A = this chain, B = another copy of it.
Amino acid sequence: MKEVYDYIESNKERYIEWLQELCRQPSVAAQNRGMKETATLVEYYLHQTSASTEQLSTSGYPVVFAEVNTNAEKTLSFYNHYDVQPEDPIELWESAPFEAEIRNGKMYARGVADNKGNLMARICAVHAYEQVYGKLPINVKFIIEGEEEIGSVHLDEFASKYPDKIASDGCIWEFGYKNPNGRLQVSLGVKGMCYVELRARGANTDLHSANAAVIKNPAWRLIWALQTLKDENENILIDGFYDGVLEPDETETQLLEAMEYEEREILSSLGLDSFLLNLDGLELKKKLLFQPTCTICGVESGYTGEGSKTVLPSFAKAKLDFRLVGEQNPDKVFQLLREHLDRNGFTDIEAVQLSGCHPAKTDPNDPLVRTVVDNVKDVYGQEPVVLRNTPGTGPMYDLCQKYNIPAISLGVGNEDSRNHAPNENIAIDDYILGIKMMSKIIHEFAN
């Protein structure tokens, strides 16, 4: 592999330019900005390798699908996305969000960490490997969707429609970061999600609050309904909700113990004194990765401006996300929620499921995982931190676990990459390491 690493080093400037060019092309799915141009640009870079490419239509933005078919026995797929989050609030960016300026060894751009840096590192790895060895030792597929930042709304549909295209022996997932200690983290799964909006209605118009003595207040109805969902000890009170939540097994407990979570630094940066329930150590990490949540993401009713307004609201709503683990199922959770509300007398509260996503995880002993974990030291000089899963969510079930494809997530981000926020960035060194790491995985996955 030394020749490949050397090639990457000597072609560093080119690979950095490619990433800059890709980042300079906005691709905001939520606003339909530059989506077509970006899909075509991604194909252009894939054509620097021997990959054949096509844009496969979905009911939303197309998936860029690419394949390097070497007639090898094994196939590795890369899941990425070419869309990015909106760049707001612009005024907090130190350089323009689509300028991709390099300062102090970092490239700053909307999408550079999430996840154009990862996408380009994988393309460059194939490119460098082919330049040095002529041919990959495995088949490689790229599945690059355009809707990850708006909830991967059509990825399940896509996967069902093209089972042959997504088939592989393993998938390298889209994201990955170094932890605050500078150690690479690799993740073997994601939590699932059931996102719900609850809506309560009162009179057909807002009223003077003098009427509140005798007229139903939807804000109160919503508060009373919400408080039946979770108690102050963070117990979620929906019957059957915890079915399918699994305790970590021995291997998972070992991984949890080895996981680095810098408690004091995190609390200090957030201005907090303690974590929920005063947890720390293993129990804290266990809750973070192995427990489901019920989170109020938003709630609104009536007058919320400055000062006093004496109004009896006609409407109230709350947005909830349930992060799911183990064998929990988003549709089942939604059904349990509805039954819970009805059983507690809240038949008047409307519940709408806005999205659903199954949890997913890959066996730590899967050959793909071993290949990745065993080879990180070769590139990074130290062992990775293996996370059983991340607290976040992604469509790993729809694209991988549903089809028995193992998946593992690693990438070029750092602990301060600021995904979805102003001044999103990656370190140039991490980008180059990422290219090397992917070329090493391609090399070793053949065995």
- The verdict on A271 contacting chain B, using a C-beta distance below 8 Å, is yes
Q: Is the CB of B304 within 8 A of A317?
A: yes
- Among A170-218, those with CB < 8 Å from B are 191, 193, 195, 202-205, 207-217
Instruction: Select A299's contact among B203, B316, B390, beta carbons within 8 Å.
Output: B316
A392: chain B residues at CB < 8 Å are: 208, 210
- The verdict on A287 contacting chain B, using a C-beta distance below 8 Å, is yes
Q: Is the CB of B317 within 8 A of A270?
A: no
By beta carbon, the residue of chain B nearest A218 is B296
Q: Is the CB of A208 within 8 A of B420?
A: yes
Q: Is the CB of A191 within 8 A of B220?
A: no
By beta carbon, the residue of chain B nearest A275 is B214
A390: chain B residues at CB < 8 Å are: 210
- The verdict on A75 contacting chain B, using a C-beta distance below 8 Å, is no
A279: chain B residues at CB < 8 Å are: 214
Give the docked Cα–Cα distance between A296 and B319 (Å).
18
Chain multiplicity (copies): 2
Q: Is the CB of A211 within 8 A of B391?
A: yes
Q: Is the interface of A mostly helix, strand, loop or mixed?
A: mixed
Q: Is the CB of A151 within 8 A of B308?
A: yes
A276: chain B residues at CB < 8 Å are: 213-216
Instruction: Select A213's contact among B213, B214, B293, beta carbons within 8 Å.
Output: B293
- The verdict on A398 contacting chain B, using a C-beta distance below 8 Å, is no
Instruction: Select A309's contact among B215, B297, B303, B393, beta carbons within 8 Å.
Output: B297
Instruction: Select A319's contact among B212, B302, B319, beta carbons within 8 Å.
Output: B302
Closest 9 CB pairs of A and B: A298-B302, A210-B391, A204-B271, A219-B296, A203-B270, A300-B304, A212-B295, A227-B227, A298-B303
* A residues apposed to B, CB below 8 Å: 151, 191, 193, 195, 202-205, 207-217, 219-220, 223-224, 226-227, 230, 232, 270-272, 275-276, 279, 284, 287-289, 291, 293, 295-304, 307-313, 316-317, 319, 321, 323, 345, 354-355, 390-393, 420
